[in-house]
Amino acid sequence: MAVEPFDVVDLIHTKRDRGVLTTAQIDWLVGAYTRGYVADEQMAAMTMAIFLNGMHRDEIRDLTLAMIASGETLSFDGLGKRTTDKHSTGGVGDKITLPLAPLVASFGVAVPQLSGRGLGHTGGTLDKLESIPGWRAALSNDEFHRQLAEVGAVVCAAGSGLAPADGKLYALRDITGTVESIPLIASSIMSKKIAEGTSALVLDVKFGSGAFLKDIEQSRELAETMVRLGTDAGVATTALLTNMNVPLGLAIGNANEVRESVEVLAGGGPADVVALTVALAREMLALAGQPDADVEAALADGRAMDTWNAMIRAQGGDPTAALPVARESHVVTAARSGVLVAQEALPFGIAAWRLGAGRARKQDPVQHSAGVDLHAKPGDTVTAGQPLFTLSADEPERFERALEALDGAYRIGDPGEPVESGGPLIADRIG
């Protein structure tokens, strides 16, 4: 039996006492945990020590590289196209990947978008796309590379071989109260993104009510950490800090978010969704060597829509097929006339989750037709009896709990009263 070079308890003591782990210690720790030598309870103690005491920049870099080294990495060297990717930290109504990937790909840039599923109040890109009849998330490596070469955009599930240490560690953090740690969040996101092999990456780091991190300064620290990790790994990386105090767009769910995304690709859609899609596309294309690309023109002239249709068909979907519609709906109307001055993101995300659009456990199914459709946004003038939003679900008994989540989540004020939006949609750019 081989003798291990380190004792995990010693390493736990080091982090518990605010010490710094060496590269060799971190490499061993991640490898030993991945192969099962380090037990879950030991790694839970380590993650709690990191959660409480943080990590130095070099430690975060070493942790990220060790998680990358735990599995395979992808390469697009033979593709003949520049590659650029985007990652969002998630929010309520955040369907930006759907119009963004084909929009960027319509400029001849390859977008290898490995996405995930929703958990809790934040939706998952794969769940949304699976609303489309026939569309499939799982692709072989050959299918993945062929679609990138021929269509230019792929949105699919990541294989289990990419950064398997992260998958194991994230599942542990999820049940031990150590998710909200900037070193652990940053290394988790960036290990997968760097392993994907893209040459450029744009991060959409959200703050506010419906975001993973509520405080803008915490989100800024996360963005700066991830930009450094990407840059250190040779990936051109920038980040936008974006506002998630108010739901993004008018649709919150799965099928309804696909409908809204198609509206954007057709040259319409809500102003905030269009603005963020355009801003992120400009960032991605600038990193791919096209800083002057006219992204608005690609939305207006149908190029982005053509790429969307090709992308959906390549993965077995029918972009012309009818999307699921819920059997039941419940409309909430304005109790008085005035101005909608508040619409808090998190409760609307929880309401959509309770309607069936999200999942409490990773293995739970989602109802693609369930969700919330907003009919007014903060700053809009409303009249008594006017619809404010519609809840949709297959089981009407879900409405009561969804309405409980929305108690106090929106408010109608008098004309001239300040609107509670939490500031501009894009607060800052980092990188």
Question: HEC states along the chain?
Answer: CCCCCCCHHHHHHHHHCCCCCCHHHHHHHHHHHHCCCCCHHHHHHHHHHHHHHCCCHHHHHHHHHHHHHCCECCCCCCCCCCECEEEECCCCCCCCHHHHHHHHHCCCCEEEEEECCCECCECCHHHHHCCCCCCCCCCCHHHHHHHHHHCCEEEEECCCCECHHHHHHHHHHHCCCCCCCHHHHHHHHHHHHHHCCCCEEEEEEEECCCCCCCCHHHHHHHHHHHHHHHHHCCCEEEEEEEECCCCCCCEEECHHHHHHHHHHHCCCCCHHHHHHHHHHHHHHHHHCCCCCCCHHHHHHCCHHHHHHHHHHHHCCCCCCCCCCCCCEEEEEECCCCEEEEEECHHHHHHHHHHHHHCCCCCCCCCCCCCEEEECCCCCCEECCCCEEEEEEECCHHHHHHHHHHCCCCEEEECCCCCCECCCCCEEEEEC
Catalytic pick among 62, 127, 166, 272: 166
Q: Sheet containing 381-382: which strands, arranged edge to edge?
A: 381-382, 338-343, 410-413
* 61-77: average pLDDT: 94
Give the domain CATH number at 341. Answer: 3.90.1170.30
Do 384 and 237 share a structural domain?
no
- What is the model's pLDDT at position 1? 66
Question: Do 101 and 50 lie in a common domain?
Answer: no
- Residue 75 in domain: no
Based on the fold, state whether residues 357 and 280 are members of the same structural domain: no
pLDDT of residue 295 exceeding 70, the answer is yes
pLDDT at 262: 98
* 313, 342: one domain: no
**Residues listed for the chain:** 431
Residue 154 counted as domain residue: yes
pLDDT interval class at 362 (50, 70, 90): low
Q: Has residue 336 been placed in a domain? A: yes
Number of domains in the chain: 3
How much is the pLDDT for 422? 86
pLDDT of amino acid 210: 93
- 166 included as an active-site residue: yes
Mean pLDDT of 115-130: 82
Are 291 and 356 members of one domain? no
73/373 Cα distance (integer angstroms): 40
State which of 282, 303, 321 marks the end of a domain. Answer: 321
Does the structure show a pLDDT above 90 at 141? no
Q: Scan for tokens 């700066």, then name that residue.
A: 224
Q: Is the pLDDT of residue 267 over 90?
A: yes
- The pLDDT assigned to 52 comes to 97
304 closest CA partner among 265, 346, 359, 337: 265
Q: Is residue 100 part of a domain?
A: yes
pLDDT of the residue at 77: 87
pLDDT reading at 111 higher than 90: yes
User: Across residues 128-146, what is the average pLDDT?
Assistant: 94
- State yes or no: pLDDT of 376 exceeds 70: yes
Q: Which CATH number goes with the domain that contains 157?
A: 3.40.1030.10
Q: Looking at the structure, do residues 45 and 164 belong to the same domain, yes or no?
A: no
Domain that holds residue 160: 85-321
Residue 318 has pLDDT above 90, yes or no: yes
Amino acid 3: pLDDT: 86
pLDDT given at position 78: 86
Residue-level pLDDT at 299: 96
Cβ-in-10-Å burial (0-12, 13-18, 19+) of 19 comes to: exposed
Model confidence at 425, pLDDT cuts 50, 70, 90, reads: very high
Residue that is last in its domain, among 321, 356, 371? 321
240 and 218 in a common domain:
yes
Name the catalytic one among 188, 191, 209, 219. 188
Query: Does 119 score more than 70 pLDDT?
Result: no
The pLDDT mean for the chain works out to 94
Report pLDDT for 120: 66
pLDDT band, very low/low/confident/very high, at 365 (cuts 50, 70, 90):
confident
- Active site residue: 61, 86, 87, 168, which one? 87
In a domain, residue 63? The reply is no
Whether residue 303 is found in the same domain as residue 378: no
Q: Give percent of the chain with pLDDT exceeding 70.
A: 98
Same-domain check for residues 29 and 127 = no
Least confident of 104-113, 165-174, 218-227: 165-174
In the chain, the N- to C-terminal Cα span, in Å, equals: 48
pTM for this entry: 0.94
Q: 40 catalytic, yes or no?
A: no
Q: What is the pLDDT of residue 160?
A: 75
Q: Which residue has the higher pLDDT, 160 or 367?
A: 367
* Claim to verify: residue 296 and residue 338 sit in the same structural domain: no
What is the share, in percent, of the chain residues with pLDDT greater than 90?
Answer: 86
Q: Is the pLDDT of residue 245 over 80?
A: yes
Pick the catalytic residue: 61, 95, 145, 173?
173
175 pLDDT band, cuts 50/70/90, is confident
Q: Do 247 and 335 reside in the same domain of the chain?
A: no
- Catalytic, 377? Answer no
| Among the ranges given (143-152, 164-173, 231-240), the one the predictor scored with the smallest mean pLDDT | 164-173
Q: Please state, in angstroms and rounded to a whole number, the distance separating the CA atoms of residues 412 and 303.
A: 40
